[in-house]
Amino acid sequence: MYDAGCPHVGEARAVLTRALQDAGAPAVWTEWCADDPACPESRRRLGSPTILVNGEDVAPGPHPWAPRQPGEGPRVRPYRDGDLVVPTPPAALVAAAVQRALGPDVG
C-alpha cells in the first residue's frame, strides 16, 4: 500500500524483496495505490508505505490516518524500530511476517 508521491515506497519495496529472497520465496506481490479506484477502501487508510503479508499489517496497531483531500501530498507513515522512528516497515518485522506466512499451517 502506498500513496502516490510517497518518497519511501522504493525502500519499502527493497525491504520486502530482501525478506522474500532471504526466505527463498519469489519476490512477487500486489501493490495498491490509494488513489487507484480499484484499491479496497479498507486499505486506503493505512498510510504510506504499508506492507501487508497475507492481508495482515507487518506492524499492526492503530493507524489514525485521515483520508487525503484532493491536492494533499502522501501520508507518510512512521514506524518504530527499537528506539528509532523510521519511514519504512523495519526489515525484522517484514522478515518475521514472511516467515510466519511460509511456516506450517497450525490449526
Which range, 5-9, 14-18, 26-30, 77-81, is most confident? 14-18
Q: According to the model, what pLDDT value does residue 64 have?
A: 53
Crossing angle for the helix pair 91-102 and 9-22, nearest 10 degrees? 40
32 phi, psi to nearest 5 deg:
-125, 130
Q: Could you report the per-residue pLDDT of 46-97, keeping only the tens digit for each? A: 889 999 999 899 998 765 555 566 667 677 888 989 999 899 999 999 999 9
Q: Could you report the per-residue pLDDT of 25-45, keeping only the tens digit for each? A: 999 999 999 889 999 888 887
Is 99's pLDDT higher than 90?
yes
- 8 CB contacts (<8 Å, ≥6 apart)? 48, 49, 76, 87, 88
Query: Strand 52-53 to strand 56-57: parallel, antiparallel, or no bridges (unpaired)?
Result: antiparallel
Q: What is the pTM of this model?
A: 0.85
Q: How confident is the model at residue 103 (pLDDT cuts 50, 70, 90)?
A: confident
